Amino acid sequence: MKLVRKNLLLLALLPMLTAPVPLLACAACYGKSDSPLASAMDYGIFTLLGVVLCVLAVFLVGLVHLVRKGEAMHKDAVKRMEDL
């Protein structure tokens, strides 16, 4: 009996869950690109993109610093080996 109830409940909820409802869509998905929600989402996307680019830039600067420091240490070691 419990299995039949569970299946009936699932069958009753399935059309409600799969039906497209324009009220649940955000302004950008629904097509109103001039709404405040769409412009706020654009600002949010640009902010997150800026954060990601800043993190990648810091990573790149650190990597370049390590490469240059390694090259300088290598040149110093070669110079010391030649002095021996």
17-55 pLDDT, tens digit per residue, is 777 666 566 655 666 677 787 788 889 999 999 999 999
Measured CA to CA, the distance from residue 6 to residue 16 in angstroms comes to 16
pLDDT, mean of residues 6-15: 81
Measured CA to CA, the distance from residue 79 to residue 73 in angstroms comes to 10
Q: Which pLDDT value is given to residue 27?
A: 59
Who has greater pLDDT, 61 or 6? 61
Who has greater pLDDT, 24 or 9? 9
Q: List Cα–Cα distances, 81 to 50, 68, 69, 70, 71, in angstroms.
A: 46, 20, 18, 16, 15
Average pLDDT, the chain: 84
- pTM above threshold 0.85: no
Residues counted in the chain: 84
